[in-house]
Amino acid sequence: MIGKLIIARHHESTWNKLGKWTGCTNVELTEYGLEMSRKMGKLLSGIPIDVAFASDQIRTLETLLCMENGASIDVPIHRSAALNERDYGDYTGKDKWEMEKILGEEEFNKLRRGWDYPIPHGETLKMVYDRVVPFYLQTILPILKEGKDVLIVAHGNSLRALMKYIESISDEDVSKLEMLFGDIVIYTLNEEGKMLTKEDRAIPSEVNA
């Protein structure tokens, strides 16, 4: 029997609060982010987590540790740069909402949500997919096939890339996909690591991102 896969996005970081494109910048959670991460842990009620994964960026580890605290669990944690946020290149550190005014809504949405839309000196979502999915298949899926339940705490775009594979979402439709702050998604999977069932749990969250 294949274990359950649970995915969650890190909660509010200091740059989220400022409305900045964070990307690879290693920023910490705000007090609000820490508090809400503990509440996210309570959403894990009834799921016996065996192992957890986070990106190399501190905001996912902080979220994960707070979730453990909120869920009263203590599991082995593995970290990998394969799960890191998308590199926003020349847009890193810029105010998103100011850039929306400069770029226009259509261009802005392509940049944020498009599948293979280029960013100067940065990554497309397709490039993120090309590092996240092999890591999932080679490292995480074998653990799931042992019947263990796995929690992944990562980022908006690295999780969108993973969800694209798991849910067999087309290149065109991935622009409609978003992983919200405060949400966790619980999957049952087939042998290929693709979705059989999906359950959403959430705590209401207000983040400027």
Q: Which residues are catalytic?
A: 10, 85
For residue 50, the Cα-to-chain-centroid distance in whole angstroms is: 19
CB 195 within 8 A of CB 7: no
Query: Ramachandran region of residue 58, left (φ > 0), alpha (ψ -120 to 50) or beta?
Result: alpha
Q: What is d(CA 8, CA 203) in angstroms, rounded to the nearest whole number?
A: 12
Beta bridge partners of 79: 54
